[in-house]
Amino acid sequence: MSYIHKTICELVASSPAQAEFYQAVEEVLESLEPLLESEPRYRASGIIERLVEPERQIMFRVPWVHDQGQVKVNKGYRVEFNSALGPYKGGLRFHPSVNAGIIKFLGFEQIFKNALTGLPIGGGKGGANFNPKGRSDQEIMRFCQSFMNELYRHIGPSTDVPAGDIGVGAREIGYLFGQYKRLTGRYEGVLTGKGLLWGGSLVRREATGYGCVYFAESMLQSNAESLSGKTCLVSGAGNVATYTIEKLYQLGAKPVTCSDSTGTIYDSHGIDLDTLKHIKETLRVSLQEYLKEFPNAEFTPVDAYPEDGHAVWRYKADMAFPCATQNELTEADARALIENGCMCVTEGANMPSTSEAVELFIAEKILYGPGKAANAGGVATSQLEMSQNASMQQWPFEKVETRLREIMAGIYTRCSKTAKAFDQPNNLVLGANISGFRDVADAMLEQGVV
């Protein structure tokens, strides 16, 4: 039995029913194979066995009260995965699909992503199986307060610093921060993605989407291409998708799609950004609303999607940016993209492409930027927010954006150089995994068996 197969079998036995987590581990271990062969010290020191087991997992009850007075109970999670490089850092996700396996897959990915930024941050992730859809502001506030009533004892500016993710934006971070402050009496940088009036960083809101487009720009530049004039497919309609679309316009490309949990919008004239923001950031309703302003756009509801994939990837375009959620781009979607002439796929979401889709992109030599590298701009800017908090400063927009652009170009260079060094120049998955792993593993070796 191969080392990877043995590790996955042991994980299945010790942590049952965590499919997304096994998927993430398998992808990383497969690409580490050449390194583990050339550097036996990693295996000899049990680095892999230690890496796949979180340092700490916290599960807790989150009771809260509906506007109508009913008591509801959700499950809360925080997985503190690895602190070899710094305090645990990673977002909180509020979505009904959240379970221990999803949080572990996200936390595991976060270790390597954070390492790739070159900044001193470890990996963690958390959330709850709470559905914010249709909940009033008061209900969201009560939920966030109850969530923090347990979480506060596990986090701190030099131990664990959560941020947002799906379902957790500026509003939720505000309620979480307020409750932390009330419980501890401390005003400190314990969360990132904060409001600008109370410790937030300029560009944090835009960072993941902007960073994702910068990463695509680096990939294109290395291949003597540019974003100018490129037609782009974007999935999602949340934080990452919105600011991916914004930066695509700024760099001369034309994004023609976006999607949400109700369906996909295609607008051949380009997605109208103000309308998108109004629908999703202000009204918080279905994308179908877009048709009221732009009746000539197309809306495909989820129940009309192809059986083997998603409508958003079936349009003709030069580039694709999956920015919604995990496994939202299947093998059939990947095939459709390639047949339609798509030459570059850059992931804003975490693990949005299935393993089969990724294999196809690499085999077909499509420019492919894996999420853990391409969406690292969010966490990198979170770390810049932590630096600003620690020095009691607020940097101007241009300074943060310039740092973000440099960091994304640096991540691309690291991944690309590593891929070349292992004779797989097209394989940024291998480049990202080996490059991130090496820093974490070397730090773990130096810190002993802990």
For ligand NDP, which residue of 348, 369, 370, 436 counts as binding (CB under 6 A)? 348
Q: Binding pattern to ligand NDP, positions 63-102, x when CB under 6 A? A: ----------------------------------------
Measured from the CB atom, the residue of 80 and 172 that comes closer to ligand NDP is: 172
Task: Please report which helix (H) or strand (E) contains residue 427, including its range.
Answer: none
Q: Is 422 exposed, middle or buried (0-12, 13-18, 19+ CB in 10 A)?
A: middle
Tell whether residue 325 is a contact of ligand NDP (CB under 6 A). yes
What number of chain residues touch ligand NDP (CB under 6 A)?
A: 23
Q: Binding pattern to ligand NDP, positions 206-245, x when CB under 6 A? A: --x---------------------------xxxxxx----
How near is the Cβ of 49 to ligand NDP at its closest, in Å?
26
Catalytic residue (one of 125, 194, 230, 280)? 125
- Find the helix packing angle between 397-421 and 204-222, rounded to 10°: 40
Residue whose Cβ sits closest to ligand NDP: 238
Instruction: Return d(Cα 155, Cα 144) in angstroms, integer.
Output: 15
Measured from the CB atom, the residue of 218 and 242 that comes closer to ligand NDP is: 242
* DSSP code per residue over 294-338: -TTSEEEEGGGS-TTS-GGGGS--SEEE--S-TT-B-HHHHHHHH
Measured from the CB atom, the residue of 24 and 237 that comes closer to ligand NDP is: 237
Tell whether residue 200 is a contact of ligand NDP (CB under 6 A). no
Residue with tokens 């947002």: 164
Instruction: Return d(Cα 381, Cα 140) in angstroms, integer.
Output: 26
Question: Any catalytic annotation for residue 125?
Answer: yes
Q: How far is CA 422 from the centre of its chain?
A: 26
Burial code (b: 16+ CB inside 10 Å, e: under 16) for 60-95 equals bebebeeeeeeeeebebbbbbbbbbbbbbbbbbbbb
Q: How far is CA 341 from the centre of its chain?
A: 26
Tell whether residue 350 is a contact of ligand NDP (CB under 6 A). yes
Give the interface segment with ligand NDP, choosing from 34-42, 319-327, 383-391, 400-408 (CB under 6 A): 319-327
| Chain residues in the site for ligand NDP (CB under 6 A) | 164-167, 169, 208, 236-241, 260-262, 323-325, 348-350, 375, 378
Which residues are known to be catalytic? 125
